[in-house]
Amino acid sequence: MRESPDKWAGRVVSTYDRLEADKVLGESNFGGDMVANTIRTVDPEIRYEDAHASRGKAVRAEPIAALFEQGKVHLVREFPALESELTGWEPGRGQKSPNRLDAMVWALTSLMKPRRTISMALIE
């Protein structure tokens, strides 16, 4: 979402509370601690984990793409903007960065642990 820091942080916290989430995962590469610090202005006690990219989006996405191909992961409802990125983004083509795709990859990568039930919510 494209909103002020207070509005997007508030939306993250309200979604976290509504879903009784275990944690919030945020990418820290270019914003450093900005994401965590902004969210904590709304809720200082929120459980937050940084994701730090050491590889490109295409390489990060490969294991998740394999899970989809194997039928181990699927979308439960419609996410038109995400689905457009999943089916339309081609690495190295100079296209707009697939932010929803990347967020989904980070979330699923964080959740890929043996013997766990996986559920997640994406903010559209």
Tens digit of each residue's pLDDT (9 = 90 or more) over 30-79 = 666 888 999 999 999 999 988 887 788 888 889 999 999 999 988 899 99
- CA dist 70 and 48 (Å) reads 30
User: How does residue 93 score in pLDDT terms, banded at 50, 70 and 90?
Assistant: confident
Q: Identify the domain boundary among 13, 31, 52.
A: 52
DSSP code for 45: T
Task: State how far the Cα of 101 lies from the Cα of 87, in Å rounded to an integer.
Answer: 10
Both 97 and 76 in one domain: the answer is yes
Q: How many domains does the chain have?
A: 2
Q: Would 122 be classed as within a structural domain?
A: no
Average pLDDT, the chain: 85
Domain containing residue 28: 1-52
Residue 14's φ and ψ, nearest 5 degrees, are -65, -35
Nearest of 46, 12, 20, 9 to residue 119 by alpha carbon: 20
Residues 58 and 78 both lie in one domain: yes
pTM: 0.72
Amino acid at 85: E
Question: Treating both helix axes as pointing N-terminal to C-terminal, what angle do 80-88 and 99-111 enclose, rounded to 10 degrees?
Answer: 90
